[in-house]
Structure 1
């Protein structure tokens, strides 16, 4: 496969061609004894592309990469395509049995989570998730034991207080988005259909103790683009008013309170929580990554503007939202300690991207590869840890010619403090021409890795993943 001028098919984004199983992986340093489980990450890895010049990064077939850690050893590395109908056909395999939503075929390439003892690869805009087994083999589409009323979502939140799974799903064919809650029994227990206009792309959402936060922003499905054959038929609509929706957790669609905000787009919130606003009432504080504009001129990926960390403060009494920049360095893939989702937190993590003096030489890679490269380079140059209480940050830099993916915080033990644990991420080592699993101390992020697990192959730049601890 050649990139044909498409930067998302070349260099560090180029798909790998083979499924690999490797055992007894080499380790530099010492893997913490508390890390017993699997570190899994999903991302696009197309088998073939009909028109490389028109290919969009978001549309590649999903491939999950995983490392199994146990008793201080790295037992295996595996990478497996998620067997959607299209992938199974291209590999010459039988289509897997199971339910489908509106006959949609899922390039389940966005996230991988475990809920109710099941490993689920997800994607947005309506298809069902695909269930995998512990060795990353695809079992088939999953509809929450027959209780999912429609399609599903790319992103979910597990409420630490209840253990329930929350999601906001959309489908371009529907004039509403669905707020869904799955109980700890793995069955959907709550559904709220919320009317929206313009088929907005709601990639993610936020959850607080009492509210579901909906990002109704100026990126939506375009029928004109779909009819013209666009591989990714979504675009920026400058005429649409950006809104933040506040749905009470136990409320109905008519209870949503919509607040106008400045035009922007949000893929990924970091976290949101409620706090006392003094005599003026309670506030909601949201930390998220925002773009000024997206999918307006970019043809291959999110290349229109640089993402930055912002803090939004919602005054519930006044019905207003204050949008402030926390860090103007380009960053994405924000994460927090999962034990603190929906509540107040101090530390957040993200991936720094080139720009503003950070790794601008990355553009030379595209020139050397004979491609023009994207307007905005989505290569990760380092992991950043934010101390939001002190207003400071520290960075773990990777090799200037390498990359690093989303960093996932893992507590050292369930009872330890917020930042007492590890940050796990895949990083490409150009000197080996292969990737490593980095295990960093969250309390010394800029220091040398606690351990570096050497993988036999490159893990392409991708999207999201999770640490799946062994269930006791």
Structure 2
């Protein structure tokens, strides 16, 4: 009922809603807990491991209401690209840039998104930001009455919007129809053909009409979408027929062409029964491949969270193979009620488990996370 309280003046959202439990990001010398309907919260870790909340962070008053829980950090420039969406007020989508020092630039409203689409994630390339406009839309009546805050619109044709990363207004925004392509989470994007082609890789949420009530009937299949900026032509390739979501890459390759993807196998979302590794380059050999090259299933009644890739050498990541590292995740055994932190060798054919750390408490399914070096934590 927060929306109603805001409308009648009982609640000031500029002070934050408080959940901050979707994801984390480290930029501008601060560690943030993120929730897409709220302002980022700056946090730090105490020597004993406790989390200390410093407070909500609105970038010196330059951020109003909320920011995505999925900002993109350019690994070369350390710039942060983000957005906020408004389920009620137009414009529904606003593009945000944050400088490496943590100073936010001016908002860039996207007026060409004419309906309150549910924008949970987006992608960047070297020169562009790519936003989805999908068949899931915000439900104003539900927000006010305490009902379902989102709904589905099966008549809508999903689109991908492309805007230059450093645009000062919306004049260069271009929308491309991608029928029945509902991108909730982006995996990566990059440019080809001297910048004339944009490649986007993301899970496509199928059976979208069941998304709100029957997640067991919802499947996500990872697709590669190519957008020819010269002709406007859009082409697509399916990377696997398997139900896959909550995917990650080596983050040094954000915005540039990557080879490997690590994805969870929903059973159903938000929990997953295992993790797979996909090889994107197989699309260059076979237009209808199954790009899965490694699989790890955790066993009966064992379910994991989103995987995350951790390179072995953080300071020299491009000197080694892209998959020279570990795939990590939380795993919960629903029979024994024990929880573990799993470490897998990303280069092995079966994602070999090389370490298991028993946890004193369970981490709920579905939360996103990051890996932060101890040296970075010590600098906060």
Fold conserved between structures, TM > 0.5: yes
Alignment-derived partner of residue 28 in structure 1: none
**Distance across 1 between alignment mates of 2:86 and 2:28:** 25
Which of 110, 130, 145 aligns to 1:194? It is 110
Q: Take 1:160 and 1:452, find their aligned partners in 2: how far apart are those partners?
A: 29
Gaps of 5+ in 1: 1-49, 51-58, 60-98, 355-375
Q: Confirm or deny: 8 A CA contact 1:182 1:190 kept in the other structure.
A: no
**Which of 11, 27, 42 is equivalent to 1:115?**
27
Which sits farther off after the overlay, 204-213 or 397-406?
A: 397-406
Offset, 1:224 = 2.8
Q: Does structure 1 conserve the Cα–Cα contact (< 8 Å) formed by 2:16 and 2:65? A: no
User: Partners of 2:154 and 2:369 in 1: how far apart?
Assistant: 32
Contact 1:397–1:446, Cα closer than 8 Å, also in 2: no
Aligned with 1:171 (options 64, 72, 86): 86
Shift of 1:292: 2.6
Are the counterparts in 2 of residues 130 and 138 from structure 1 also a CA contact under 8 Å?
yes
Query: What whole-Å deviation, never above 9, does each CA across 1:159-211 have from its counterpart, x for those lacking one?
Result: 01210111121111332211111111111024211112221110000100111
Instruction: Give unpaired runs (5+ residues) of structure 2.
Output: 3-10, 283-290
> Could you list the per-position Cα deviations for residues 121-177 of structure 1 after superposition, in whole angstroms to 9, with x for gaps in the alignment?
11124x212222213232221112333244211211100121011112111133221
Q: Distance in 2 between matches of 1:105 and 1:379?
A: 26
| Correspondence for 1:451 | 355
Aligned twin of 1:221:
138
Paired residue for 1:433?
A: 337
Give the alignment partner of residue 283 of structure 1, picking from 197, 212, 216: 197
Question: Please, which of 176, 196, 206 is the counterpart of residue 123 of structure 2?
Answer: 206
Alignment partner, residue 155 of structure 1? 70
Distance 1:297 1:308, change over 3 A: closer
Q: Deviations over 1:392-441 (max 9, x none)?
A: 42111102211011111111003232110111110113464211111111
SS at match of 2:26: strand
Shift of 1:459: 2.1
Shift in alpha-carbon separation, 1:169–1:336, aligned structure 2, 3 A: same
Q: 2:172 — aligned with what?
A: 255
Which residue of the partner structure matches residue 406 of structure 1? Answer: 306
**Could you tell me how far 1:301 is from its partner in structure 2?**
6.8
The 1-side partners of 2:54 and 2:233 are apart by: 46
Distance 2:75 2:245 in 1: 24
In the alignment, the residues of structure 1 paired with residue 233 and residue 131 of structure 2 have an alpha-carbon distance, to the nearest angstrom, of 15
**CA separation in 1, counterparts of 2:221 and 2:243?**
5
Report the RMSD for the aligned CA atoms in angstroms. Answer: 2.4
Q: Within 5 Å, which residues of 2 pair with 1:361-440? A: 376=268, 378-390=270-282, 391-414=291-314, 415=316, 416-430=320-334, 432-440=336-344
State the partner residue of 1:68: none
Figure out how many residues of one structure are paired with residues of the other and give that number: 349
